[in-house]
Amino acid sequence: MATRQGNTIRFEQVCAVESSCSLGGKKESEGPCAGQFDLLNKDNYFGQKTWEQAESRMQQLVLQRAVQQAEGPPEVLFAGDLINQCISSAYAHSESGFPFCGLYGACSTMGEGLLMGAIALESGGAQRAAVVTSSHFCTAERQYRSPLHYGSQRAPTAQWTATAAGAVVLSKRGAGPRLVRGRIGQIVDFGITDMTNMGAAMAPAAYETLTGFFTDTGATPEEYDAIVTGDLGKEGSAILEELFDRDGVNLKTRHHDCGLWIYDLQKQDVHAGGSGCGCSASLFCAIVLPKLRSGEWKRVLFLPTGALMNTLSLQQGLSIPAIAHLSEWVGGEEKA
Amino acid sequence: MATRQGNTIRFEQVCAVESSCSLGGKKESEGPCAGQFDLLNKDNYFGQKTWEQAESRMQQLVLQRAVQQAEGPPEVLFAGDLINQCISSAYAHSESGFPFCGLYGACSTMGEGLLMGAIALESGGAQRAAVVTSSHFCTAERQYRSPLHYGSQRAPTAQWTATAAGAVVLSKRGAGPRLVRGRIGQIVDFGITDMTNMGAAMAPAAYETLTGFFTDTGATPEEYDAIVTGDLGKEGSAILEELFDRDGVNLKTRHHDCGLWIYDLQKQDVHAGGSGCGCSASLFCAIVLPKLRSGEWKRVLFLPTGALMNTLSLQQGLSIPAIAHLSEWVGGEEKA
């Protein structure tokens, strides 16, 4: 049975990655992580008629591949995405037959799902749990911002929603990387109202979750080979590192951000970096897990961040609430 | 540790309702359940400037009341709603400080949250978990259908989104009604494309979850004092009962539907009944839990249903996927 240190949960059962799959679209296949994705497709329609159906197809592709490589089917599936009423997830899995839990955590969804999966395994309610999430530049852009053919100007702090997806199968057996501790985030609202600067809204949530984790556990950044945030991008990453600097803690030397990994910021004209549920989900599968499997990294913190506003709440003058869900991972051979 | 029978989870730890709170708005305070709500408010703005903020306020009100009556604060909060990106939940709890998990299950959200709460308790990751959800006629109407001042005609099969909220605090201690078994639903899509007939889209999901539960466990409808669906309304309830009739199973005599409880269909001009996350959530707290506490009911199945489309997916010609999450409840003194 799991135990708690403050708001941090320590899992006692094995929660190991049995299989995973990452997928990227056109722009992602032209970026610096192209060689790491399991699947790449330069057709952003993924053979479908609409972008929304393409995003559902992306979730199917990564989940099917991950499940094929697992030792059995998941007994519960956690899924979510950015699109209104999470339709990318619902339509993707309407014929899967898997018990389905819909999540909404914006770009933190993979972090939330991994924790829900670990909790489900620890409870005995499932022996195997899957987590999948996605984002698609075209579905997000027209929903959150403006029709794509407007070709509206992008702010320098704006991030580029990744066309990407990731799926993980967690199991109580197996020698893969293990989730050993986790911290479900609290919602933090620092009063940011600029929807073209999500990084600034999300950085305080990452700070809150990370400092809470360090306080609860007595752990320090030095114990980790990498501390990987979701998609703070250039702006948010600088803010997070500065917040730690003020506390006299050097986060910079081991801090990575999926939003900075996924694109070449200059060459690919993506301004402050990548974002979207699929950004951190795909790179967790494409970069973090392989480094844990190979032993290059032995201990990692992974904390995707999410901005929890919608277009209406910003039109109504409200600021952007944000959240970050943290999971601690060790390589298959490492001590928990 | 929980055990499984097929896709049904049997909880071994106590998962008891420590406290709960239900809230209704103006129309709900004029309906047949008015006397059962813990809180009623005839001002559908709940003192706020926008309907969306009113819905957030409703979540705050029920959660605060439930937490005040619990023996301690929740260690995790599960919340969700119908509004794009679940903003009613995010803005409601941005200052609560509770570890927050956002869910999206449309009108099934309370069912999903209760199961997540039970799983969290069983895992040891939390000793106390809260679940809260809401819906608001005005926020839903303008998002899903048309601006309210259009006064557009409503189809006879249409349901009325309830302005209501419910919150439950689950605990490993206490003598309140207990959640003993649960079944996370699968997504079911029977090809219904009529967005004014959600009941027809959701009835097959309720049927799928219920028949799966009966098959897994060997239980029969006769063992229950009540089988309470979320908000199938008049149309969906008739379909569900007919599906069981065809199997030679009489569900009618013990089947209740929150969408039929909440309004007087004739006098209140609500056509096929109530709907919305808040409908089943508030009546679970206002009717089901009190009857379990008093001993009038000893054993109950509660299964809210959700329709997982959005307006865009219907415009794109897709049908409506649906889901139903089931929990089995016994009175505080009953054997699990």
Rounded distance between C-alpha atoms, residue A42 and residue A27, angstroms: 8
CA quadruple A95, A96, A102, A103: dihedral sign: negative
pTM, rounded to two decimals: 0.98
Measured between beta carbons, which residues in chain A are less than 8 angstroms from residue B7?
A: 75, 99
Enclosing H/E stretch for B3 = strand B3-5
Rounded distance between C-alpha atoms, residue A89 and residue A103, angstroms: 9
Rounded distance between C-alpha atoms, residue A305 and residue A75, angstroms: 27
The Cβ of residue A332 has, within 10 Å, a number of other Cβ atoms equal to 14
In B295-334, which positions are buried (b, 16+ CB within 10 angstroms) versus exposed (e)? Answer: eebbbbbbbbbbbbbbebbbeeebbbbbbbbbbbbbbeee
Residue A11 · residue A55 · CB < 8 Å: no
Residue (of A154, A148, A107) closest to A269 by Cα position: A154
Q: Compute CA distances B324 → A43, A105, A261, B190, whole Å.
A: 35, 21, 39, 14
Identity of the residue in B91, B104, B321 whose CB atom sits nearest the CB atom of A321: B91
DSSP B140: H
DSSP A279: H
Distance from the Cα of B30 to chain A's closest Cα (Å) equals 30
Q: Do B83 and A310 touch (CB under 8 A)?
A: yes
Identity of the residue in B93, B119, B308 whose CB atom sits nearest the CB atom of A119: B119
pLDDT computed for residue B334 by the predictor? 64
Q: Give the mean pLDDT per block of 10 residues along chain A (336 residues).
A: 97 96 97 98 95 98 98 98 97 96 98 98 98 96 80 83 97 93 97 90 97 98 97 96 98 97 94 95 98 97 97 94 98 70
**The residue to which tokens 């004029």 are assigned:** B30
> SS3 letters for A239-268?
HHHHHHHHCCCCCHHHEEEHHHHCCCCCCC
**What ipTM was predicted for this assembly?**
0.97
pLDDT computed for residue A336 by the predictor? 60
Q: Give the mean pLDDT per block of 10 residues along chain B (336 residues).
A: 97 96 97 98 95 98 98 98 97 96 98 98 98 96 81 83 97 93 97 91 97 98 97 96 98 97 94 95 98 97 97 94 98 70
Q: Do A1 and B310 touch (CB under 8 A)?
A: no
Q: Do A9 and B125 touch (CB under 8 A)?
A: yes
Rounded distance between C-alpha atoms, residue A21 and residue A311, angstroms: 31
Six token digits for residue B260: 């039929």
Disruptive mutation site among A94, A202, A309, A325 for chain B (greatest number of B CBs within 10 Å): A94
